[in-house]
Amino acid sequence: MFRDTSATDRPLQTASSVFSRKRLAIGVAAVVLLVGAVYLIGPVLTAERTLPRERVRITEVKRGTLVRDVSSQGRVVAARSPSLYTSAPGIVRFVVEPGDLVSKNELLAEVDSPELESELKREQSTLARVNAERSRQEITNRRTLLEKRRAIDAARIADIAASRELERTERAFKLGALPEIDFKRAQDTVQGTRITLATAEADLALERDALALELRSFDEQLAGQQLLVSELQRQVAALQVRAPFDGVVGNWLVTDRANVAANQALMMVVDLTELEVEAAVAEVYAETLAPGQSAEITVGSERLRGEVRLVSPEVQNAQVLTRIRLTDANVAALRQNQRVQVRVLLEEKPDVMLVERGPAFERDASFAWVIEGDVATRQPIKLGASSVSAFEVLDGLTPGQQVIVAGIDDLRGVDEVLLTH
């Protein structure tokens, strides 16, 4: 008896069907491998060049404050260090040495100038002579005016006498005691005396004006002579060279006992209580530098604050000279002519997009190498103001992007680079 086993029967697989399924599995695996390979080596196939990542310097685009500044070497100088001059030729004799502490108005040097002193004596003698002549003229004027007044008095007395005589003659004429001719003669006499009196008074006025004019001429001459004497006295006094303020004697500009010319510099006096820094800055910053800008002075490990006080209006040797006033009270560490590092703050721009400076931008600032994954792509950008360490980004980049700033000097004509590890 046979049992029915049809329910458990399986179709028999032929050798050809088994082979087909194996081929299908192999094909699927190959496709998967191919896709993975394309994903992994796709950048290699599309990139034009490859670079080791360690060869390049990468930075991130950020927002921050752009500080535009300029740095330069400077030297410490005294805010006041005038040269002292002689007022006349002569022989100089110093009474202090370089480095001596001196007080205001203290005698520093003397200049022996016989010519100037002789000239002063001559002009003083002339002044005395003119003054004496004026005094004599004034006495003469008084005598002359006195004589003129006497003439007036005499004319006035004569007029009074003539008037009395006229009155007496008039009475006698009216009584018939005198002829008319005598009366007329008395009238003529009065008129004559009055004319004489008027002439004497006018003469006195004219003489007074003439004498006053002479005295004014003497006064003008005296004033001019006094000015000359005063100037010579000032020059003679200036032969004693004195300290203009409390300070330290600087260098002698001539030797002791030397013959010096008029207006020749003799020495310097330095005021060490008020120091400044003198720095030469490249002329490209000439239009940006301005008095009042903040500055930082570095002396060793110490940093001092300052402020630009003066910017020279002229350019010499492609540089502009600036003077920086120290605003810090702690300047004890500074010395005259000491070398320092100077940094002047030109401008601050807050909350701008920044990218670090690097050779890539120094060579061509119109594009940047922007990194996505392992590929760096050349993209156009626009940069603005710059500082010592960063550029302002105006367009083409966004915060957070990574860009290459160095290490791509030989990638001319290339738009994509694969960065390898």
Q: What is the CATH number of the domain that holds 405?
A: 2.40.420
Among 198, 215, 236, which residue terminates a domain?
236
Q: What is the pLDDT of residue 23?
A: 53
CB 88 within 8 A of CB 235: yes
pLDDT at 374 over 70: yes
pLDDT at 404 over 50: yes
Q: What is the pLDDT of residue 7?
A: 46
Per-residue pLDDT of 196-237, as tens digits, reads 899 988 988 998 888 888 899 999 999 999 999 999 998 898
Residue 358 is classified by DSSP as -
Largest CA distance in the chain: 227
In this structure, the answer to whether residues 130 and 201 fall within a common structural domain is yes
Domain that holds residue 356: 49-68+350-420
In this structure, the answer to whether residues 152 and 59 fall within a common structural domain is no
Among 183, 210, 236, which residue terminates a domain?
236
Among 236, 265, 296, which residue terminates a domain?
236
Residue 182 binned pLDDT confidence (cut-offs 50, 70, 90): confident
In this structure, the answer to whether residues 64 and 139 fall within a common structural domain is no
Tell me which amino acid residue 88 is.
A
Q: Would 359 be classed as within a structural domain?
A: yes
In this structure, the answer to whether residues 62 and 120 fall within a common structural domain is no
Q: Would 390 be classed as within a structural domain?
A: yes
Neighbouring CB atoms inside 10 A of 299's CB total 17
Nearest to 371 by CA among 407, 335, 347, 332: 407
CA pair distance 291, 11, nearest whole angstrom = 102
Number of domains in the chain: 2
Average pLDDT over residues 322-350: 84
Q: Would 360 be classed as within a structural domain?
A: yes
The average confidence (pLDDT) of the chain is 84
Beta strands in 105-163 (DSSP E): 107-112
In this structure, the answer to whether residues 121 and 202 fall within a common structural domain is yes
Residue 54 is classified by DSSP as G
Owner of token pair 């003679």: 236
CB 406 within 8 A of CB 360: yes
Q: What is the pLDDT of residue 46?
A: 47
In this structure, the answer to whether residues 54 and 120 fall within a common structural domain is no
Question: Is the pTM for the entire model greater than 0.75?
Answer: no
In this structure, the answer to whether residues 118 and 215 fall within a common structural domain is yes
Residue 310 binned pLDDT confidence (cut-offs 50, 70, 90): very high
In this structure, the answer to whether residues 149 and 56 fall within a common structural domain is no
Per-residue pLDDT of 38-91, as tens digits, reads 444 444 444 567 888 888 899 999 999 988 888 899 999 888 889 999 988 999
Rounded to 5, what percent of the chain is helix, strand, coil? 40, 35, 25
Q: What string of H, E and C letters represents the secondary structure of 47-105?
A: CCEEEEHHHCEEEECEEEEEEEEEEEEEEEEEEECCEEECCCCEEEEECCCCCCEECCC
Lowest-confidence segment of 38-42, 119-123, 382-386 by average pLDDT: 38-42
CB 403 within 8 A of CB 371: yes
pLDDT at 406 over 70: yes
| Coil/strand/helix, residue 35 | helix
- Per-residue tokens: 170: 């008039």
Q: What percent of the chain has pLDDT over 90?
A: 39
- CA angle at residue 286 from 281 to 292, to 5 degrees? 85
Owner of token pair 């001429």: 217
In this structure, the answer to whether residues 120 and 213 fall within a common structural domain is yes
Please, which residues have CB within 8 angstroms of residue 267's CB and are 6 or more apart in sequence?
A: 83, 84, 94, 98, 108, 109, 241, 249, 250, 251, 252, 253, 254
pLDDT at 393 over 50: yes
Q: What is the pLDDT of residue 335?
A: 78
Per-residue pLDDT of 3-42, as tens digits, reads 444 444 444 444 444 444 555 555 545 444 444 444 444 4
Q: Would 28 be classed as within a structural domain?
A: no
Q: What is the pLDDT of residue 106?
A: 94
Owner of token pair 């695996």: 29
In this structure, the answer to whether residues 63 and 170 fall within a common structural domain is no
Q: Would 405 be classed as within a structural domain?
A: yes
Q: Would 341 be classed as within a structural domain?
A: no
Residue 284 binned pLDDT confidence (cut-offs 50, 70, 90): confident
Q: Would 342 be classed as within a structural domain?
A: no
Owner of token pair 């049809």: 6
Please, which residues have CB within 8 angstroms of residue 9's CB and are 6 or more apart in sequence?
A: none
Q: What is the pLDDT of residue 111?
A: 93
Q: Would 379 be classed as within a structural domain?
A: yes
Q: What is the pLDDT of residue 8?
A: 44
